[in-house]
Structure 1
Amino acid sequence: MPDRHLSRRSVLRTTSGAFGVAPVGVRHASGEAIGTAGRCPEATIRPGMEHCTDAHGDGCSDDHPETEAIQDAVSRTLEDRYPNVGTLIDEGFIPYFDLASSGEEGGYSHWINPGYLGDETVLDPERPESVLVDNKWWRPIGVMFIATEDGEAVDDPPAVYGEGDEACAPWHYHTGVPGRFAWWYYQKVYGSDGKTSLKLPCRTPCMLHVWTYPNPNGVYAHGPPPRGNRGGPPAEDPGFDTWATPGDDELEWNTLPDGFVSQFKPDTSLRDLLFG
């Protein structure tokens, strides 16, 4: 379990409620108006995203050999190394602060690995920066690659395959306050040795999903497969002791081990941070 940044948890904390919509004109502690464009012309109050490359997903095909290869490689990694939430916890993954707020429509959570963010690999199926977990069946259903090297964002992430206008490079970044704040908070508490700017970043690093269950919008879709396409029962063994029953109880903070929650669950809302 990573613990070298835990002493800074008192610097800033937030709950999954931080992903609610902030009112227009709200100011960050630095004085930046996070709900307006200001220095960030792409910024939006509600969740928003943009493509990282001109090619983005236009050159992608689900039946292309390279798509099949990366999907198969991700599937093997999840099956062999991260088959359940317990293995994610054991290997240093922590929730990307949305565990209890993904809602019925999405019903999944992001788990992020600080070590993989800080290494030199990009688009490595064996070292996914984030694993995506279905909250009903407690089952990993894909990964989210985050384009960073040594913890710094990569401006021109590699294509999955192809070149130029024909490339398959479905990378996107988030411009909305929820995504920007989540990334800033993650860096502040866990990822940057206390050197994070007081101002919210204008955008997140580039990200790319690979889903291992059938998705009508494609292997690289931004949104998850519908719940009916996530394998169904039986639910996965949680991999740790819990009062909850996967398949009957949603994966939430209060279903996780007490020691893990006490270390990693934030306990102050974005509103409290801004006005408290």
Structure 2
Amino acid sequence: MDDDTSDRPIARRDVLRASGGALGFMGMGGGGSERCPDATSRPAMRDCDGSTRKGCRDDHPRTEELLGAATESLDSDFGTVGALLEDGFVPYFDVLTGDSSGGWSHWLNPRYIGDDSIFDASRPAAIMVDNKWWRPLGLMFVATREGDRVSAPSVYGEDDEQRCSPWHQHVGLPGRYAWWKYRQLWGDGGDGFRLPCDTPCMMHVWTYPHPDGVYAHGAPPRENRGGPPAEPAGFETSATPGEDVLGIDVLAEELLNSSVARS
């Protein structure tokens, strides 16, 4: 069914307890080919309208400025998972569903997604974390203002040959489902029972060396993520960074407590 069937607020506890499998969600207004012609059942992404990487260079002054700000933000304020939890970051369900994206996960901050900033590295919409070392790997900016989607701005440049605007959005079912679950748990509730056709536009800035550049979509190779682990974890846990994978078994109690407190 594509139409919403209830205005009842969805309790965060209910969503946390729901199955992490996206297939079980298909009957809840998942959206078929008519409503979402670009959507796929498998993980998929596409460039946002107007996006281009032609002018993107790691040695461009604006890239160096953005990378420097991202590195400083992670080093000074967001060095551990505990620091992320304390500041209000929550995992984007690639942790909760067991899809660890090749050993890394996204952590989103509802306050920063809901404010008026986009490129503010001190208030990043999201942070990518290595699930083995529990170490932040970079920032992700989301094209929203006050929680509403906006057209993705260029990082720099005006004409197509010199412009850098490396924004992407997820159109695959796992990504759309994850965004829906995030909004139900910690966002504004969004589309109710209706699964969105895509996510807002997103852009990565990796602070670890990446063969495809600072703005690459995927994470840096494992050998470039380095050690040692980000110890201490920054929150009470019997798990050990570098030995235990950062996943639902480590975070369940912490996340359930925070979701109940905010319900």
Which range, TM-score by smaller chain?
0.7 to 0.9
Cα deviation, residue 13, structure 1: 3.9
Aligned length: 250
Runs of 4+ residues deviating >6 angstroms: none
User: Does the residue aligned with 1:173 lie in a helix, a strand or coil?
Assistant: strand
Pick aligned residue for 2:72 from 71, 76, 93: 76
Q: Deviations over 1:68-100 (max 9, x none)?
A: 110110000000110100100100111111115
Residues 1:168 and 1:253: Cα distance change in structure 2 (over 3 Å) = same
**Is the CA contact 1:87–1:239 (under 8 Å) kept in the aligned structure 2?**
yes
Residues 1:8 and 1:261: Cα distance change in structure 2 (over 3 Å) = closer
TM-score, normalization by structure 1: 0.83
2:62 is aligned with 1:56: no
Pairwise CA RMSD of aligned residues? 2.4
Query: Which is further off, 7-16 or 250-259?
Result: 7-16
**Is the CA contact 2:79–2:136 (under 8 Å) kept in the aligned structure 1?**
yes
The answer for the alignment partner of 1:28 in structure 2 is 27
Q: Deviations over 1:18-61 (max 9, x none)?
A: 35xx39xx74323x5x4x42211111110111111334212101
The answer for unaligned runs of 5 or more in structure 1 is 1-5, 266-276
User: Does the residue aligned with 1:140 lie in a helix, a strand or coil?
Assistant: strand
The answer for unaligned runs of 5 or more in structure 2 is 1-8
Cα deviation, residue 7, structure 1: 7.8
TM-score, normalization by structure 2: 0.86
The answer for the alignment partner of 1:66 in structure 2 is 62
Cα deviation, residue 169, structure 1: 0.4
2:11 is aligned with 1:8: yes
Q: Give the distance between the partners of 2:18 and 2:159, measured in 1 at CA.
A: 41
The answer for the alignment partner of 1:215 in structure 2 is 210
Q: Give the distance between the partners of 1:69 and 1:111, measured in 2 at CA.
A: 23
The answer for the alignment partner of 2:201 in structure 1 is 206
The answer for the alignment partner of 1:97 in structure 2 is 93
Give me the identity figure in percent: 48
Pick aligned residue for 2:172 from 149, 163, 176: 176
The answer for the alignment partner of 2:240 in structure 1 is 245
**Is the CA contact 2:13–2:259 (under 8 Å) kept in the aligned structure 1?**
no
Pick aligned residue for 1:112 from 108, 115, 119: 108
The answer for the alignment partner of 1:18 in structure 2 is 21
Q: Deviations over 1:107-163 (max 9, x none)?
A: 011111010011011121111101111011110010111110010111x21111111
The answer for the alignment partner of 2:221 in structure 1 is 226
